[in-house]
Structure 1
Amino acid sequence: MAPAPKKSLSDLASLGGLVYSTESGRMCPDCRQPIGQCACKELAKAAVPAGDGIVRVSRETKGRGGKAVTLVKGVLVDAAALDQLGKQLKAACGCGGTVKDGVIEVQGDHVERVMAALQKLGHKVKRAGG
């Protein structure tokens, strides 16, 4: 049996780099700074999705056991503001929901209520789908 080849430093760096340092604690794998000084998450939060400025509201039942869900896509705000908008829409409809991948999902068929609430907040809204 042949001996295992030695790993070079360049091979170890490709594994992701330093994760923990006794000097400064946990390290960010992306910018390799201590977690307290990491700027990666702030940059990700500041990123606003690109689009045409029109919010599209649709109703979908696929993959949900026949249950209807109202989807809100194309809102040009950051993640924190999107979560807040999701809360406002859920409260306006009196139901539950979530925010996933930049899309607000409101449980139930509330397309008209959601469109009215978004127009009241000053968004340009279109109904998408059937």
Structure 2
Amino acid sequence: MSKKKLNSLENLGGFVFSTNNSFEYNTEENQETLLPNKQFLEALFSNKGRGGKTVTVITGFVGNEADLKILGKLLKTKCGVGGSVKDNEIIIQGKYRDKIMEILKKEGYNVKRVGG
């Protein structure tokens, strides 16, 4: 049996250790979603860890998970492709960065193009 190495604290599964008796753990789930004109999103291409298939990744969203999923569903519907919402990122299958940037700008978001 091999032992798993811990490369980061995230591998502990979200545990928080504290010796402080009055410690309060705040989750980001209750985070208030900023207005679209206050959001600064980044659109980039990625194929890392996806078997060479290219996806468009939207990062930088500040808000709760439910609003992020709503935005992800809107983008998937407008582009007519699949995708997912993971780790505070919207992942859209295929090269749709320019189209997604246009959609987000029409919705009032500030979008920056990252990468080539």
Q: TM-score, normalised by structure 2?
A: 0.69
Any idea what the Cα deviations from partners look like across 1:7-66, whole Å, max 9, x if unmatched? xxxxxxxxxxxxxxxxxxxxxxx9xxxxxxxxx89x64212589x841000011111111
Shift in Å, 1:77 = 2.3
Q: Which amino acid aligns with 2:31?
A: A
- Which structure is richer in relative contact order (CA contacts within 8 A, separation 6 or more)? 2
Shift in Å, 1:108 = 0.5
User: CA 1:95–1:128 in 2, change beyond 3 Å: closer, same or farther?
Assistant: same
1:83 and 2:51 aligned: no
Equivalent residue number for residue 24 of structure 1: none
Q: Which amino acid aligns with 1:59?
A: F
Equivalent residue number for residue 126 of structure 1: 112
Any idea what the Cα deviations from partners look like across 1:108-128, whole Å, max 9, x if unmatched? 000011101100110001101
Q: Distance in 1 between matches of 2:39 and 2:68?
A: 14
Q: Distance in 1 between matches of 2:115 and 2:100?
A: 15
Higher-Rg member (1/2) = 1
* Alignment gaps of 5+ in structure 2: 1-15, 17-24
Matched residue of 1:63: which SS? coil
1:74 and 2:60 aligned: yes
Q: How many residues align?
A: 90
Of 68, 82, 100, the residue aligned with 1:96 is 82
* Percent of pairs with identical residues: 39
- Structure 1 runs (4+) deviating above 4 angstroms are none
Q: Distance in 1 between matches of 2:39 and 2:29?
A: 19
